């Protein structure tokens, strides 16, 4: 029997709407949208506390570390400040991601090979607190191997390029995703995926070998403007079954 794929709902862009007015507006209420997501079937909430604090704020991390009714997954750059915050508030998962101030969204995967020692130290520190660690990487076999070597619990494959590509390029990217997923599983790493997924691509990503979890945000927030948060997430849960 095929196992159910976990859905993590990323609520960053709920906070984006709030922060458009400098964070002075009390709406949309982040915790309310979290609860709607969980009511619709999400089993994890994902937030990315960026250095530039363009959407999620430190007080959101504090609030959700206390009141999130399901697992909290903190996306974070591997910086001393963020490691300290993760160590203090102890989310169930931390996902290490690359981060550039000028980017509109996360543009690619973390270069684990280039920063192995720093990543390894951060992983060891947080795992000692009982936090599980995933690394957001491109579907690259060398990066998968490096993720294993630094002690990660999981890899989350960047699906953004696959979503946008057409034709032969899309097929080639899918092959890379499959090969990387198989290697990750063979090394004992959990296989996660995310970035740019909509209903159509969520239907396809289910075919990725050994996939256990997807994290989806921007699309669901956009759908929520038409349908409401509960119906948007509920449909995604159905798609992933």
**Residue numbers annotated as active site:** 48, 75, 195
Burial 157-170 (b: 16+ CB within 10 A, else e): bbbbbbbeeeeeee
Cα–Cα distances in Å, from 114 out to 111, 119, 201, 216, 232? 6, 10, 31, 27, 38
Closest CA to 239 of 2, 1, 5: 5
Reported as half-sphere exposure (CB side, CA atoms, 13 A), residue 63 has a value of 14
């Amino acid at each position: 029997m095929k196992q159910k794929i976990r859905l993590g709902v990323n609520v960053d862009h709920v906070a984006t709407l709030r922060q458009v007015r400098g964070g002075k507006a009390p709406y949309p209420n982040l915790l309310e949208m979290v609860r709607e997501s969980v009511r619709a079937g999400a089993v994890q909430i994902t937030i990315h506390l960026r250095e530039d604090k363009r959407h999620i704020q430190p007080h959101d991390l504090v609030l959700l570390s206390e009141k999130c009714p399901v697992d909290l997954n903190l996306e974070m750059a591997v910086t001393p400040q963020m490691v300290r915050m993760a160590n203090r508030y102890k989310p169930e998962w931390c996902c290490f991601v690359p981060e550039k101030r000028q980017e509109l969204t996360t543009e690619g995967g973390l270069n684990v090979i280039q920063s192995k020692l720093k990543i390894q130290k951060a992983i060891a520190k947080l795992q000692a607190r009982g936090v599980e660690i995933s690394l957001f990487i491109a579907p690259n076999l060398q990066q998968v191997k490096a993720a294993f070597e630094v002690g990660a619990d999981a890899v989350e494959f960047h699906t953004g390029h696959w979503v946008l590509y057409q034709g032969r390029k899309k097929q080639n990217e899918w092959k890379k995703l499959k090969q990387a997923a198989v290697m990750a599983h063979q090394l004992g790493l959990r296989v996660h995926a995310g970035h740019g997924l909509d209903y159509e691509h969520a239907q396809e990503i289910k075919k990725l070998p050994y996939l256990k979890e997807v994290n989806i945000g921007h699309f669901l927030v956009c759908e929520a403007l038409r349908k409401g948060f509960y119906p948007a997430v509920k449909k995604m849960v159905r798609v992933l079954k």
